[in-house]
Structure 1
Amino acid sequence: MRLKVFRAASMSEAMALLRSELGAEAVILGTRRVAGGVEVTAALEPEEPVLIPPMGPSVAAVPVAGPLAFHNLPVALALALGAAPLEAALGATLGFAPLPEAQEKPLMLVGPPGAGKTLTCAKLAARLVMRGTAPVVVTADGQRAGAAAQLAAFTGVLGLTLAVAPSAASLGKALGRRERGQPVLVDTAGCDPFDPPQAVALRGLATASGADLVLVLPAGLDAQEAADLARAFAAIGARHLVPTRLDAARRLGAVLAAAEAGPLLLTEAGIGPDVADGLEPLSPARLAARLAAAPRRGVAAPQEAA
């Protein structure tokens, strides 16, 4: 889904810009008066690509051998990673970077419901406190029952005050009270990025805060589903990826597919419920070791099952 905001002196001019860029199929999500004219927010669903069968042997028919076959990778990605030593191939195919420091810009955690955003926010807050820095922690989740209470329990143990700001206006006010250079962590409600009103609301929070958006996504999803989610959140503004539940997931196809599809920079991974020490930096070397490891004992790999 493609989101676009058009500003012009009059509604007719804004509509002309909208039709010129997005076409007649665009859906208008909202209009409002702004200084100097009007603002129109619109969305356009991309057309599904037409798949033409290739001439000769299909790429999908090419077998993916070795440990990569266990991880349910998209075939094209598996072939790319299998074309060189795994660590080097990961470094050449995917992007890796540290998480932003959350000082110049707030760090906003986004993702679908149940992805682990609140726990990840608590882990990042605990890390900063243990380093001697007290961050501003804000929850913009006004939808899920008990969401604020859950994060408040974490921040209370850390000696931090939780700000509740479910709207763009209240978020802007909460951020206005931080001290210069003070890190800011923003937890958000679970978002369906394919639902235009939810996507627009999340974009509004990001715009109001000027935040760096980090997609939090659980490992172990279907790889194509993860790729679709990554592309949708990247369209909203996400640039980094924190996969969660990496300690419980046996197959990492979703993590790699999401990073490639966004494209999103792999940063750190959630590895358990321990708030004090529950994030692990990701690197080509660590991922290569995990991908090459044998499946857990007691559970047969697909090629071993009868």
Structure 2
Amino acid sequence: MRLKTFSARRMDEAMSLLREELGAEAIILSTRRTGSGVEITAALEAEEPVLIPPAAPTMAAPPGPLTFHNLPEALGRCLARGPLDQTLAGALGFGPMPDGRDRPIMLVGPPGAGKTLTCAKLAARMVLGGTPPVIATTDGQRAGAAAQLAAFTGVLGLTLAVAPSAAALGKALARRMPGQPALVDSAGCDPFDTRQAVALHALAAAAQADLVLVLPAGLDAQEAADLARAFAALGARHLLPTRLDAARRLGAVLAAAEAGPLLLTEAGISPEVVDGLEPLSPARLAARLAAAPRRDAPLAAEEAAS
């Protein structure tokens, strides 16, 4: 699937640009007004494979502590130009997690990224902070998906709404009190599949939500960058990487943040629901990147036995 955003002063000009490049078969995903005019995001199901060129040559980084993390070459060279916390602050965006009060937080991402556990972590923090949220899941088909989240919400004393359609999701979120935060756990989505992308966009539009992309650390850096660009085209503006406690290489996290571009907010650092998230800052991320990597298991086991 090909995704592209067109900007122009007037709607007819933007539509003309869209039709000229993508043709009459393009599906319009969203339209919005900007300070300079209008913006249209559209998708086209490719009949032939679409090759997405990499933003930069990948998997090579300059000598130094960053080499281990398999950063894209251009980003690695940029980060190596000075103190790591300072170059991270200059190259990537960092920001707080949306609070879910004005607009619901909708967690999106590929299957198995850790969205449900992240939703439980955010819910637990809100409950402990005295602002219990409204929680909904759009994943009504995957076996055990709703049951897993319901187990968490039950412990927290919260009711879970299962809302697989845009209409059901809108009704579930409409029952929240003014100023009450809301969390939406979405089903895993392949953003390169037009049907799945359109369905996710419809749910996000119905919820009027802030989309937060949840991606596991340890992916291939270029794969993570491609996913970040695709979810950004669907409206994601924030990135929450998971499994920072288990991944040895963090190049995918940085590549995704740069490619979106997406604001790095928090990260999953533990399977524990309480205190399982850590706010990300240039200093904290620099410390994780510079830390000595854990050794391979066979070597560690051999040394322990000797």
Q: Per the shorter chain, which TM-score range?
A: 0.7 to 0.9
* Cα distance in 2 between the residues matched to 1:81 and 1:256: 11
The residue that corresponds to 1:43 in the other structure is: 43
Q: TM-score, normalised by structure 2?
A: 0.83
Q: Is the 8 A contact 1:22 1:44 kept in 2?
A: no
Match of 1:155 among 145, 153, 156: 153
Match of 1:273 among 271, 274, 287: 271
CA-to-aligned-CA distance 1:224-271 (integer Å, 9 cap, x gap): 000000000000000000000000000000000000000000000011
Match of 1:215 among 207, 213, 219: 213
1:204, CA displacement in angstroms? 0.6
CA-to-aligned-CA distance 1:162-212 (integer Å, 9 cap, x gap): 011111111111111111100000000000000011111111111111100
For 2:132, the aligned partner's letter is A
Cα 1:289–1:259 shift into 2, 3 Å? same
Cα 1:45–1:177 shift into 2, 3 Å? same
1:84, CA displacement in angstroms? 1.3
For 2:260, the aligned partner's letter is G
* Cα distance in 1 between the residues matched to 2:77 and 2:182: 40
Q: Is the 8 A contact 1:245 1:271 kept in 2?
A: yes
For 1:180, the aligned partner's letter is P
What RMSD, in angstroms, separates the aligned Cα atoms of the two structures? 2.9
Q: Which runs of 5+ in 1 are unaligned?
A: 6-12, 32-39, 52-57, 302-306
Cα 1:216–1:67 shift into 2, 3 Å? same
Q: Is the 8 A contact 1:110 1:216 kept in 2?
A: yes
Match of 2:19 among 14, 17, 22: 22
Q: Which runs of 5+ in 2 are unaligned?
A: 30-39, 300-306
Tell me the percent identity: 68
* Cα distance in 1 between the residues matched to 2:283 and 2:16: 48
The residue that corresponds to 2:195 in the other structure is: 197
SS in 2 for 1:273: coil
SS in 2 for 1:67: coil
Residue 93 (structure 2) pairs with residue 95 (structure 1): yes
Q: TM-score, normalised by structure 1?
A: 0.83
1:293, CA displacement in angstroms? 1.2
The residue that corresponds to 1:290 in the other structure is: 288
The residue that corresponds to 1:185 in the other structure is: 183
The residue that corresponds to 2:174 in the other structure is: 176
Q: Is the 8 A contact 2:59 2:72 kept in 1?
A: no
Q: How many residues align?
A: 279
Cα 1:281–1:60 shift into 2, 3 Å? closer
Cα 1:217–1:151 shift into 2, 3 Å? same
* Cα distance in 1 between the residues matched to 2:187 and 2:262: 20
